[in-house]
Amino acid sequence: MGLDRYIDQQLHPERIDDSAATARLTGLTTITLSSREIQERYERPVMQARREKKQNDGEPTPEMREARQKAQSVLLELGEQKVIRAVYSERQLQEVLTDFWFNHFNVDARKGRDRGFITEYEREAIRPHVLGHFRDLLGATAKSPAMLFYLDNWMSADPDGPHIETMPPQFGRGRFGAGIGARPPRLPAQKKNGQKGLNENYGRELMELHTLGVDCGYTQKDVTEVARAFTGWTIRNPRQVGGNARGMFAAAQDDGFAFDPRIHDPGQKVVLGHVIKAGGGQSDGEQVLDILAGHPSTAHFIATKLARRFVSDTPPAAIVDRAAARFTQTKGDLREVVRTILTSPEFLSPDARNAKVKTPFEFVVSALRTTDTEVEDATIYVRSLQQLGMPLYMCQPPTGYADTADAWVNTGALVNRMNFALRLARNDKDLALAIGGPEFQKK
């Protein structure tokens, strides 16, 4: 069809029939479940088994081992769908961008209850917005329970709260006024000393990693003001949200975003010189997202990261500038920004070919595609990626996995890749067990 038509087609994945790849996902039962369904069916049995373990003097029971294995299958199936889509989907650009943006807005499945949130996070907050407007993507991640939990914003509260006068009707009135007599639920922000307070984790990463980038003129005062604006952005829980495991599970059961005015700081904020008037409630956070999404530093930061992903570890300034200008002109239309990069002379230059070192995920997927390997059991490759140093959905720092060669090129990593390639060529199904194992060392 020609390169121009192909690029345009990939920029509109909704026009591409991807039923063949979708059919390969039918056996993965958890990837279509909501976070609440995952918590009820997979996480609650683990918690019940833990309680039984305590009652049995700490001895693990068969039920507990079975519950743990079942809960782990949620993340395993999510990894399987990622590999299958990357190998077989006709919507290749969408898959590359879903991987890119999940990494940009990284959350770690190993942190507490986040394992139960991540399936819906990628499916609802990331994938639908990768070729939409950046502000929509930013807002979707900000309200996702996965992000709220990962960066602790669900616990962030005004130290001078709770503001009982702003308590919404669904919490009842009782001793705080006329009504059904219900006591308001316990506040989420409980520090170790029992005092509620402001948590700046999300505010800092929102500016440093999600939007402006490092050294873009914001101060610690801006971080604090942003954190104040997002107090009350929490996880829906009409009963209890406590700092203990029981409270976290209670929050997870309803699994959706909620704004709680009782713990929101209602005062005036000033973010990057913009005054956010007092009493705005949830709109305080929305205004912050508007400010950051429209900032010139955000346009340059996002353009740089996309050019680094598609062109080279050190992309030419010209392509970054053009992509940033397009970001600004279109108010963050990511489809147009990506189009600018993919149709640029820098991207199409011979110098850009093979300029990037593949991440382990790209290495494994491209090996499967190049050899036309039939992926009958994707768990083999999910476990292989763990051995290659890139366990899917389990990158601990909020920076996500590195996208430059220095992170992936070293002696041990290259030996593991050679080992994987040899076993793949021999059609050996024990790929994950073999990587870095003694058999290769003997050879």
**pLDDT for 80-114, tens place per residue?**
999 999 999 999 999 999 999 999 999 999 998 88
Q: Please report whether residue 221 resides in a domain.
A: yes
Do 349 and 328 share a structural domain?
Answer: yes
Average pLDDT of span 25-30: 95
Instruction: Find the domain containing 421 and state its range.
Output: 360-442
> What is the per-residue pLDDT for 61?
74
Average pLDDT of span 261-281: 96
> What is the per-residue pLDDT for 435?
53
CA distance 139 to 119: 18
Q: Please report whether residue 332 resides in a domain.
A: yes
pLDDT at 180 over 60: no
Range name among 64-73, 188-197, 307-316 with the lowest pLDDT average: 188-197
Do 382 and 344 share a structural domain?
Answer: no
CA distance 102 to 80: 16
Range name among 158-162, 198-202, 206-210, 252-256 with the lowest pLDDT average: 252-256
CA distance 395 to 403: 13
What are 293's two structure tokens?
A: 């999404």
Do 316 and 214 share a structural domain?
Answer: no
Ranges of H-type helices in 294-437: 296-310, 317-329, 334-342, 345-348, 360-370, 379-387, 411-425, 431-434
Do 342 and 304 share a structural domain?
Answer: yes
User: For the chain, what is the domain count?
Assistant: 4
The answer to whether the CB of 432 falls within 8 A of the CB of 83 is: no
At 149, is the pLDDT very low, low, confident or very high (cuts 50, 70, 90)? Answer: very high
Q: Which residue has the higher pLDDT, 168 or 274?
A: 274
Range name among 256-260, 359-363, 423-427 with the lowest pLDDT average: 423-427
- Check residue 354 and give left, alpha or beta (phi > 0: left; psi -120 to 50: alpha): left
Cβ neighbours of 356 (radius 10 Å): 17
Do 146 and 28 share a structural domain?
Answer: yes
Q: Please report whether residue 289 resides in a domain.
A: no
CA distance 126 to 110: 19
Q: Please report whether residue 241 resides in a domain.
A: yes
Do 183 and 307 share a structural domain?
Answer: no
Mean pLDDT is highest, among 42-51, 66-75, 400-409, 433-442, for: 400-409
> What is the per-residue pLDDT for 171?
43
> What is the per-residue pLDDT for 221?
97
- Angle at which helices 62-88 and 379-387 cross, to 10°: 90
| Mean pLDDT, the chain, integer | 87
Cβ neighbours of 49 (radius 10 Å): 19
- Tell me which of 353, 370, 394 is where a domain ends: 353
pLDDT at 187 over 70: no
- DSSP for 228-279 reads HHTTTEEE--SS---SSHHHHHHHHHH-SEEE-GGGS--S-EEETTEEE-TT
pLDDT at 376 over 70: yes
Do 173 and 142 share a structural domain?
Answer: no
> What is the per-residue pLDDT for 166?
54
pLDDT at 249 over 60: no
Do 322 and 242 share a structural domain?
Answer: no
Do 62 and 128 share a structural domain?
Answer: yes
Do 428 and 312 share a structural domain?
Answer: no
**Rounded to whole angstroms, what are the CA distances from 151 to 109, 233, 390?**
12, 12, 21
CA distance 398 to 104: 8
Range name among 217-226, 250-259, 288-297, 336-345 with the lowest pLDDT average: 250-259
Q: Which residue has the higher pLDDT, 337 or 161?
A: 337
Do 346 and 226 share a structural domain?
Answer: no
The answer to whether the CB of 307 falls within 8 A of the CB of 342 is: no
CA distance 128 to 54: 43
- The pLDDT tens digits for 48-71 are 877 777 777 667 777 788 888 888
The answer to whether the CB of 358 falls within 8 A of the CB of 366 is: yes
> What is the per-residue pLDDT for 440?
36
pLDDT at 172 over 60: no
At 367, is the pLDDT very low, low, confident or very high (cuts 50, 70, 90)? Answer: very high
- Cβ-count burial of 99 within 10 angstroms (0-12 exposed, 13-18 middle, 19+ buried)? buried
- Tell me which of 96, 127, 150 is where a domain ends: 150
pLDDT at 26 over 90: yes
- Tell me which of 150, 184, 207 is where a domain ends: 150
Q: Which residue has the higher pLDDT, 163 or 342?
A: 342
Whole-number percent of the chain with pLDDT over 90: 74
What is the DSSP-derived secondary structure letter of residue 185?
P
pLDDT at 242 over 60: no
CA distance 385 to 79: 10
Average pLDDT of span 235-239: 64
Q: Please report whether residue 35 resides in a domain.
A: yes
Q: Please report whether residue 288 resides in a domain.
A: no
Do 229 and 200 share a structural domain?
Answer: yes
Q: Please report whether residue 396 resides in a domain.
A: yes
CA distance 293 to 160: 30
pLDDT at 177 over 70: no
Q: Please report whether residue 198 resides in a domain.
A: yes
Distance in Å from the first CA to the final CA of the chain: 46
What are 175's two structure tokens?
A: 């001793």
